[in-house]
Chains A and B, each alone.
Chain A
Amino acid sequence: MTRIALQLSINGERHEVVTEPHRTLLDVLRADLGLTGTKENCLEAECGVCTVLLDGRAVNACILLAAQCQGRDVLTIEGLERDGRLHPLQQAFIDHGAVQCGYCIPAMILSAKAFLDECPAPTESQVREALAGNLCRCTGYQKIADAVLAAARDLAHLR
Chain B
Amino acid sequence: MSFYYHEPTSLAEAIALGEEFGADGRFLAGGTDLMIQMRRGKLDPRHVVSLHRIPGLDDVSVDGAVTLGTLVTHRTLERHPAFQGRLRALREGAEVIGGRQVRNVATVGGNIANASPAADIVPVLLALDATVKCVSPAGERAIPLDAFLVGPGETVRQPGEVLTSVRFPALPARSATAFLKAGRRKAMEISVVCVAARLVLDEEGERCVEARIALGAVAPRTSRAQSAERALEGRTPTPEALRQAGRLAAAECRPINDVRASARYRAHLVETLVSRALGRCLERIAEEAA
Contacts and interface: CB of A to CB of B under 8 A. Distances in A.
Does chain A bind chain B?
A: yes
Interface of A: 1-2, 4, 20-22, 24, 43-46, 48, 51, 54, 57-60, 62-65, 67-68, 111, 114-115, 129-135
B50 A68 contact: yes
Interface in B3-59: 3-5, 7, 28, 31-32, 35-36, 38-40, 48, 50, 52
B169 interface: no
Contact of A48 (B32, B39, B48, B99): B99
A132 B31 contact: no
B4 A2 contact: yes
Interface residues of B, number: 28
A133 B100 contact: yes
Contacts of B32: 45, 63
Contacts of B105: 59, 63-64
Contact of B5 (A24, A67, A129, A135): A67
Contacts of B2: 1, 20, 22
Most buried by A among B4, B5, B28, B38: B5
Contacts of A44: 36, 39-40
A92 B28 CA distance: 38
B104 A45 contact: no
Most buried by A among B7, B31, B187: B31
A63 B36 contact: yes
Most buried by B among A21, A114, A115: A21
Nearest to B79: A118
A70 B7 CA distance: 11
Contacts of B35: 24, 45, 62-65
A58 B50 contact: no
B82 interface: no
B101 A67 contact: no
9 contacts: A21-B3, A22-B2, A45-B32, A64-B35, A64-B105, A65-B5, A68-B28, A129-B187, A133-B99
A22 B99 contact: no
Contacts of A62: 35
B1 interface: yes
Contact of B101 (A1, A59, A65): A59
